Amino acid sequence: MAQVGFIGLGIMGKPMARNLVNAGYSLVVHDHKQGPMQELATEGAEMAQSCRQASEGCEVIITMLPDSADSEDAILGHHGVLEGAPAGSTIIDMSSINPLVSQKIAAEAAKHNVEMLDAPVSGGEPGAIAGTLAIMVGGNEEIFQKHEELLHVMGRSVVRVGEVGAGNVVKVANQMIVAANIEIIGEALTLSQKAGIDPKVVFDAIRGGLAGSNALEAKAPMMMERNFRPGFRIRLHQKDLNNAMATARDLGVPVPVTSLLQQVMGSLVNDGKGDLDHSAIVNFIEAMAHTEIRTQS
């Protein structure tokens, strides 16, 4: 199998990298923290001390980083991926970043005869662990097909959605919908709590109807159990909505609900809740309603 460089071993990146190791890929990993690298080294990965070193000799270099600036620095910066990536290799940036930045990186990579796919993911930590992520890929059709099998190790749904940058356009669309779903679930359960109805009863009553969704199944139990351990942090979702707002501005598209949700998340970050799971969006509604969702059963 191809030798793969993997850069970024956070909540999502580490289990994604582990799935590649378990599938038999020869993996070289890099992260600014030694702990995750050492953990994967015990499972068969090789450690690299820079993005450049993680790229040398690799047919594929995957980056899974927090934001646009991180991807730019890791790929284009000093001791970055493009200093080590061999001609003919492919960078697969699985970070959720501004689509215009994806296109900028791809243009620089092309000058080094290096291909580029932007392939952001959805599914949170559970999907990363299980290898069932939804992966939205932008890039050349031939390059996508070449690496589709590798992507299927990490994701159940792997769809090419267009040229470079399109993956991150689809990702911001996804994040707009997810944020709106979680927020309205929080509103509905807070309303039910205030009315004296057990939120668990409400959840059981509506989950089989039109209100049922993956978001309801994943996030309502977390709200009721007060379990806000991060699978996907509020501050990262806020970043995605910032990218959605920037993309909407560039395209001249009004996004009033997204704008409101961006402000809600900004308030939660300012209240010190940015590192909680995005199910904690409910805290914003609870604070205004002077109540707290708790199941009675």
Q: Could you list the active site residues? A: 171
Element (H, E) at 116: strand 115-118
As given in the structure block, the two tokens for residue 235 are 């501050």
Which residue has tokens 């061999």? Answer: 86
The number of residues in the chain equals 297
Contact indicator for 18, 132 with CB cutoff of 8 Å: no
Burial per residue of 178-215, b for 16 or more beta-carbon CB atoms within 10 angstroms, e otherwise: bbebbbbbbebbbbbbeeeebbbebbeebeeeeeeeeb
Could you tell me which of 73, 13, 65 has the C-alpha nearest to residue 37? Answer: 13
Residues 109, 103: Cα–Cα separation, whole Å: 10
Residues 85, 50: Cα–Cα separation, whole Å: 12
Angle at 258 between CA 254 and CA 263, to 5 degrees: 120
Could you tell me which of 295, 159, 151, 142 has the C-alpha nearest to residue 223? Answer: 295
Residues 131, 125: Cα–Cα separation, whole Å: 10
Residue 108's Cβ-count burial label (10 Å; 0-12, 13-18, 19+) is middle
Three-state SS at 23: coil
Bridge partner residues of 29 (DSSP): 6, 47
Phi and psi based region of residue 133 (left: phi greater than 0; alpha: psi -120 to 50; beta: remaining): beta
